[in-house]
Homo-oligomer: A and B are copies of this chain.
Protein backbone atom coordinates (compact mmCIF):
# COMPACT_ATOMS: atom_id res chain seq x y z
CA UNK A 1 0.00 0.00 0.00
CA UNK A 2 1.30 3.44 -0.94
CA UNK A 3 2.36 5.77 1.87
CA UNK A 4 2.72 9.52 2.16
CA UNK A 5 6.36 9.43 1.02
CA UNK A 6 5.38 7.74 -2.24
CA UNK A 7 2.79 10.45 -2.83
CA UNK A 8 5.33 13.21 -2.13
CA UNK A 9 7.84 11.63 -4.49
CA UNK A 10 5.38 11.24 -7.35
CA UNK A 11 4.03 14.77 -6.92
CA UNK A 12 7.55 16.16 -6.67
CA UNK A 13 6.90 17.90 -3.34
CA UNK A 14 7.84 17.36 0.32
CA UNK A 15 5.95 15.16 2.76
CA UNK A 16 5.05 18.32 4.67
CA UNK A 17 3.37 19.73 1.57
CA UNK A 18 1.30 16.54 1.11
CA UNK A 19 0.28 16.75 4.75
CA UNK A 20 -0.72 20.41 4.30
CA UNK A 21 -2.88 19.57 1.31
CA UNK A 22 -4.67 16.88 3.30
CA UNK A 23 -5.16 19.00 6.39
CA UNK A 24 -5.85 22.32 4.68
CA UNK A 25 -3.56 23.92 7.25
CA UNK A 26 -1.51 26.33 5.10
CA UNK A 27 -1.75 28.09 1.78
CA UNK A 28 -1.06 25.72 -1.09
CA UNK A 29 -1.09 26.85 -4.71
CA UNK A 30 -3.88 25.37 -6.83
CA UNK A 31 -1.29 23.70 -9.11
CA UNK A 32 0.53 22.02 -6.20
CA UNK A 33 -2.79 20.88 -4.74
CA UNK A 34 -3.78 19.34 -8.02
CA UNK A 35 -0.41 17.58 -8.40
CA UNK A 36 -0.71 16.10 -4.90
CA UNK A 37 -4.31 15.03 -5.41
CA UNK A 38 -3.48 13.39 -8.72
CA UNK A 39 -0.56 11.53 -7.13
CA UNK A 40 -2.83 10.32 -4.30
CA UNK A 41 -5.32 9.07 -6.85
CA UNK A 42 -2.70 7.43 -9.09
CA UNK A 43 -1.20 5.56 -6.14
CA UNK A 44 -4.58 4.71 -4.57
CA UNK A 45 -3.30 6.37 -1.40
CA UNK A 46 -5.55 6.42 1.64
CA UNK A 47 -4.62 8.72 4.52
CA UNK A 48 -4.15 6.81 7.76
CA UNK A 49 -7.07 8.05 9.84
CA UNK A 50 -5.96 6.23 12.96
CA UNK A 51 -2.60 8.00 12.91
CA UNK A 52 -4.35 11.30 12.23
CA UNK A 53 -6.76 10.64 15.09
CA UNK A 54 -3.84 10.14 17.44
CA UNK A 55 -2.10 13.36 16.43
CA UNK A 56 -5.28 15.45 16.25
CA UNK A 57 -6.93 13.85 19.30
CA UNK A 58 -10.13 13.52 17.28
CA UNK A 59 -11.42 10.24 15.86
CA UNK A 60 -14.57 11.48 14.09
CA UNK A 61 -16.25 8.43 15.58
CA UNK A 62 -19.45 8.71 17.64
CA UNK A 63 -20.80 5.95 19.85
CA UNK A 64 -24.52 5.19 19.76
CA UNK A 65 -25.76 3.09 22.67
CA UNK A 66 -29.34 1.95 22.11
CA UNK A 67 -31.38 -0.94 23.53
CA UNK A 68 -31.92 -2.92 20.32
CA UNK A 69 -31.22 -1.83 16.74
CA UNK A 70 -33.73 -4.37 15.42
CA UNK A 71 -36.71 -2.87 17.28
CA UNK A 72 -38.63 -0.80 14.68
CA UNK A 73 -38.42 2.41 16.72
CA UNK A 74 -34.69 2.24 17.40
CA UNK A 75 -33.98 0.91 13.90
CA UNK A 76 -35.46 4.09 12.45
CA UNK A 77 -33.73 6.32 15.00
CA UNK A 78 -30.37 4.69 14.28
CA UNK A 79 -30.78 5.03 10.52
CA UNK A 80 -31.38 8.74 10.92
CA UNK A 81 -28.44 9.18 13.33
CA UNK A 82 -26.10 7.39 10.93
CA UNK A 83 -27.34 9.38 7.94
CA UNK A 84 -26.68 12.69 9.66
CA UNK A 85 -23.28 11.50 10.93
CA UNK A 86 -22.20 10.49 7.45
CA UNK A 87 -23.22 13.87 6.05
CA UNK A 88 -21.05 15.60 8.64
CA UNK A 89 -18.01 13.34 8.25
CA UNK A 90 -18.55 11.21 11.36
CA UNK A 91 -18.86 7.45 11.76
CA UNK A 92 -21.15 5.55 14.12
CA UNK A 93 -20.00 2.74 16.39
CA UNK A 94 -23.12 0.71 17.13
CA UNK A 95 -23.70 -0.59 20.66
CA UNK A 96 -26.82 -2.64 21.43
CA UNK A 97 -27.18 -2.74 25.22
CA UNK A 98 -30.19 -5.10 25.06
CA UNK A 99 -31.20 -3.14 28.18
CA UNK A 100 -28.58 -4.99 30.17
CA UNK A 101 -26.83 -2.90 32.83
CA UNK A 102 -23.52 -4.69 32.55
CA UNK A 103 -23.44 -4.53 28.76
CA UNK A 104 -24.30 -0.84 28.87
CA UNK A 105 -21.45 -0.17 31.30
CA UNK A 106 -19.01 -2.20 29.17
CA UNK A 107 -19.97 -0.23 26.08
CA UNK A 108 -19.41 3.06 27.86
CA UNK A 109 -15.93 1.91 28.87
CA UNK A 110 -15.15 0.59 25.37
CA UNK A 111 -16.20 3.90 23.80
CA UNK A 112 -13.99 5.83 26.22
CA UNK A 113 -11.03 3.57 25.50
CA UNK A 114 -11.55 4.08 21.79
CA UNK A 115 -11.59 7.83 22.32
CA UNK A 116 -14.83 8.40 20.44
CA UNK A 117 -15.52 12.10 20.03
CA UNK A 118 -18.93 11.80 21.69
CA UNK A 119 -21.67 9.43 22.78
CA UNK A 120 -25.40 9.28 22.07
CA UNK A 121 -27.04 7.57 25.01
CA UNK A 122 -30.35 6.00 24.05
CA UNK A 123 -30.28 3.12 26.52
CA UNK A 124 -31.06 3.84 30.12
CA UNK A 125 -30.44 0.95 32.43
CA UNK A 126 -27.56 2.54 34.37
CA UNK A 127 -28.14 4.92 37.24
CA UNK A 128 -27.76 8.56 36.25
CA UNK A 129 -24.61 8.91 38.36
CA UNK A 130 -22.77 6.54 35.99
CA UNK A 131 -23.07 9.07 33.17
CA UNK A 132 -21.53 11.94 35.05
CA UNK A 133 -18.00 10.54 35.02
CA UNK A 134 -17.85 10.15 31.25
CA UNK A 135 -15.17 12.62 30.25
CA UNK A 136 -16.46 13.41 26.77
CA UNK A 137 -19.46 15.04 25.07
CA UNK A 138 -22.66 13.17 25.74
CA UNK A 139 -26.26 13.61 24.72
CA UNK A 140 -29.14 11.52 25.96
CA UNK A 141 -32.31 10.43 24.28
CA UNK A 142 -35.44 10.79 26.45
CA UNK A 143 -33.63 10.91 29.75
CA UNK A 144 -33.10 13.77 32.14
CA UNK A 145 -29.63 13.86 33.69
CA UNK A 146 -28.49 17.08 35.33
CA UNK A 147 -25.90 18.81 33.16
CA UNK A 148 -26.33 16.60 30.09
CA UNK A 149 -28.55 17.85 27.26
CA UNK A 150 -31.25 15.61 25.86
CA UNK A 151 -33.46 15.27 22.81
CA UNK A 152 -36.98 14.03 23.38
CA UNK A 153 -40.44 14.33 21.99
CA UNK A 154 -43.12 16.14 23.96
CA UNK A 155 -44.22 13.17 26.03
CA UNK A 156 -46.66 15.14 28.14
CA UNK A 157 -48.39 16.41 25.01
CA UNK A 158 -48.46 12.86 23.61
CA UNK A 159 -50.10 11.49 26.76
CA UNK A 160 -52.62 14.29 26.76
CA UNK A 161 -53.49 13.89 23.06
CA UNK A 162 -53.96 10.13 23.45
CA UNK A 163 -56.08 10.36 26.60
CA UNK A 164 -58.27 13.19 25.30
CA UNK A 165 -58.81 11.31 22.05
CA UNK A 166 -60.09 8.24 23.96
CA UNK A 167 -62.37 10.44 26.09
CA UNK A 168 -63.64 12.27 22.98
CA UNK A 169 -64.50 8.87 21.49
CA UNK A 170 -66.75 8.16 24.48
CA UNK A 171 -64.50 6.07 26.75
CA UNK A 172 -65.33 6.14 30.48
CA UNK A 173 -62.88 3.67 32.02
CA UNK A 174 -59.30 3.89 30.86
CA UNK A 175 -56.17 1.81 31.22
CA UNK A 176 -52.63 3.03 30.53
CA UNK A 177 -49.74 0.66 29.99
CA UNK A 178 -46.60 2.50 30.97
CA UNK A 179 -42.86 1.92 31.14
CA UNK A 180 -41.32 1.50 34.62
CA UNK A 181 -41.90 4.54 36.82
CA UNK A 182 -38.81 3.82 38.96
CA UNK A 183 -36.50 4.94 36.11
CA UNK A 184 -36.47 8.68 35.57
CA UNK A 185 -37.10 8.44 31.84
CA UNK A 186 -38.92 11.25 30.10
CA UNK A 187 -41.49 8.95 28.52
CA UNK A 188 -43.02 8.62 31.98
CA UNK A 189 -44.47 12.12 31.43
CA UNK A 190 -47.02 10.30 29.25
CA UNK A 191 -48.40 8.57 32.36
CA UNK A 192 -48.51 11.90 34.23
CA UNK A 193 -50.56 13.46 31.44
CA UNK A 194 -52.83 10.40 31.31
CA UNK A 195 -53.51 10.60 35.04
CA UNK A 196 -54.17 14.34 35.13
CA UNK A 197 -56.33 14.31 32.00
CA UNK A 198 -58.48 11.49 33.45
CA UNK A 199 -58.82 13.38 36.74
CA UNK A 200 -59.83 16.58 34.92
CA UNK A 201 -62.58 14.69 33.09
CA UNK A 202 -63.72 12.52 36.02
CA UNK A 203 -62.73 9.36 34.23
CA UNK A 204 -61.88 6.10 36.07
CA UNK A 205 -58.32 5.12 35.33
CA UNK A 206 -55.70 2.48 36.02
CA UNK A 207 -51.98 2.52 35.22
CA UNK A 208 -49.97 -0.68 34.92
CA UNK A 209 -46.31 -1.09 34.02
CA UNK A 210 -44.42 -3.51 31.80
CA UNK A 211 -40.81 -4.58 32.11
CA UNK A 212 -38.79 -2.07 30.18
CA UNK A 213 -35.90 -4.48 29.72
CA UNK A 214 -37.83 -6.72 27.34
CA UNK A 215 -38.90 -5.13 24.12
CA UNK A 216 -39.65 -8.00 21.77
CA UNK A 217 -43.08 -8.90 20.49
CA UNK A 218 -43.18 -12.36 22.09
CA UNK A 219 -42.78 -10.77 25.52
CA UNK A 220 -45.57 -8.31 24.78
CA UNK A 221 -47.89 -11.13 23.75
CA UNK A 222 -47.32 -13.04 26.97
CA UNK A 223 -47.59 -9.80 28.95
CA UNK A 224 -51.01 -9.14 27.40
CA UNK A 225 -52.13 -12.69 28.14
CA UNK A 226 -50.88 -12.70 31.74
CA UNK A 227 -51.20 -9.12 32.93
CA UNK A 228 -53.48 -7.07 30.66
CA UNK A 229 -56.23 -9.64 30.02
CA UNK A 230 -57.86 -9.46 33.49
CA UNK A 231 -58.43 -5.71 33.01
CA UNK A 232 -60.21 -6.03 29.68
CA UNK A 233 -63.63 -6.69 31.21
CA UNK A 234 -63.48 -3.54 33.30
CA UNK A 235 -62.35 -0.93 30.78
CA UNK A 236 -63.35 0.56 27.42
CA UNK A 237 -60.17 2.29 26.30
CA UNK A 238 -56.40 1.59 26.44
CA UNK A 239 -53.50 3.95 25.93
CA UNK A 240 -50.36 1.86 25.23
CA UNK A 241 -46.82 3.16 25.42
CA UNK A 242 -45.81 1.59 22.12
CA UNK A 243 -47.32 0.18 18.93
CA UNK A 244 -46.22 -3.42 19.50
CA UNK A 245 -48.23 -3.62 22.74
CA UNK A 246 -51.23 -2.00 21.02
CA UNK A 247 -51.10 -4.63 18.26
CA UNK A 248 -50.65 -7.47 20.78
CA UNK A 249 -53.77 -6.28 22.64
CA UNK A 250 -55.68 -5.97 19.36
CA UNK A 251 -54.78 -9.57 18.47
CA UNK A 252 -55.82 -10.82 21.91
CA UNK A 253 -59.18 -9.04 21.69
CA UNK A 254 -59.93 -10.34 18.18
CA UNK A 255 -59.12 -13.88 19.31
CA UNK A 256 -61.46 -13.51 22.31
CA UNK A 257 -64.32 -11.88 20.39
CA UNK A 258 -63.90 -8.45 21.94
CA UNK A 259 -64.76 -5.99 19.17
CA UNK A 260 -62.27 -3.22 18.38
CA UNK A 261 -63.09 -0.31 18.46
CA UNK A 262 -66.69 -1.26 19.44
CA UNK A 263 -66.10 -2.60 22.97
CA UNK A 264 -62.56 -1.36 23.56
CA UNK A 265 -60.64 1.46 21.87
CA UNK A 266 -56.87 1.11 21.58
CA UNK A 267 -54.24 3.75 20.94
CA UNK A 268 -50.53 3.04 20.50
CA UNK A 269 -47.41 5.21 20.57
CA UNK A 270 -44.45 5.86 18.23
CA UNK A 271 -45.83 5.37 14.72
CA UNK A 272 -42.65 3.46 13.95
CA UNK A 273 -42.15 1.70 10.60
CA UNK A 274 -44.14 -1.25 11.89
CA UNK A 275 -47.23 0.87 12.54
CA UNK A 276 -46.75 2.72 9.27
CA UNK A 277 -46.68 -0.51 7.27
CA UNK A 278 -49.44 -2.30 9.18
CA UNK A 279 -52.80 -1.69 7.46
CA UNK A 280 -54.82 -4.59 8.92
CA UNK A 281 -55.82 -2.75 11.06
CA UNK A 282 -54.36 0.72 10.81
CA UNK A 283 -53.47 1.51 14.43
CA UNK A 284 -54.49 4.76 16.06
CA UNK A 285 -51.25 6.05 17.50
CA UNK A 286 -49.19 9.05 18.58
CA UNK A 287 -46.52 9.77 15.98
CA UNK A 288 -43.08 10.72 17.24
CA UNK A 289 -40.85 12.57 14.77
CA UNK A 290 -38.33 9.71 14.85
CA UNK A 291 -36.26 10.81 11.87
CA UNK A 292 -35.92 14.36 13.15
CA UNK A 293 -35.04 13.13 16.65
CA UNK A 294 -32.20 11.02 15.23
CA UNK A 295 -30.92 13.93 13.19
CA UNK A 296 -31.01 16.32 16.14
CA UNK A 297 -29.30 13.82 18.46
CA UNK A 298 -26.40 13.58 16.06
CA UNK A 299 -26.33 17.26 15.20
CA UNK A 300 -26.44 18.35 18.86
CA UNK A 301 -23.64 15.98 19.76
CA UNK A 302 -21.46 17.42 16.99
CA UNK A 303 -22.28 20.92 18.29
CA UNK A 304 -21.14 19.82 21.75
CA UNK A 305 -17.93 18.40 20.31
CA UNK A 306 -17.32 21.76 18.66
CA UNK A 307 -17.80 23.49 22.04
CA UNK A 308 -21.08 25.12 21.04
CA UNK A 309 -23.98 25.61 23.45
CA UNK A 310 -26.64 22.93 23.21
CA UNK A 311 -30.00 23.04 24.98
CA UNK A 312 -32.56 20.36 25.66
CA UNK A 313 -34.78 19.90 22.66
CA UNK A 314 -38.37 18.75 22.82
CA UNK A 315 -40.19 17.99 19.59
CA UNK A 316 -43.94 17.99 18.96
CA UNK A 317 -45.96 14.81 18.46
CA UNK A 318 -49.10 14.17 16.46
CA UNK A 319 -52.24 12.03 16.73
CA UNK A 320 -52.69 9.57 13.85
CA UNK A 321 -56.29 8.35 13.71
CA UNK A 322 -56.50 4.73 12.60
CA UNK A 323 -59.15 2.02 12.91
CA UNK A 324 -58.62 0.98 16.53
CA UNK A 325 -60.44 3.97 18.09
Contacts and interface: CB of A to CB of B under 8 A. Distances in A.
Interface of A: 1, 44, 46-51, 53-54, 59, 61, 68-70, 72, 75-76, 78-79, 82-83, 86, 91-96, 103, 109-110, 112-115, 133, 135, 217, 244, 247, 251, 254, 273-274, 276-281
Contacts of A69: 69, 75, 78-79, 82
Contact of A277 (B78, B79, B133, B244): B244
A251 B280 contact: yes
Contacts of A103: 86
Contacts of A82: 69, 94-96
Copies in the complex: 2
Contact of A70 (B47, B51, B78): B78
Contacts of A109: 46
A83 B69 CA distance: 11
6 contacts: A44-B133, A46-B109, A70-B72, A72-B72, A79-B96, A86-B95
A93 B96 contact: no
Contact of A51 (B54, B91, B244, B274): B54
Contacts of A247: 277
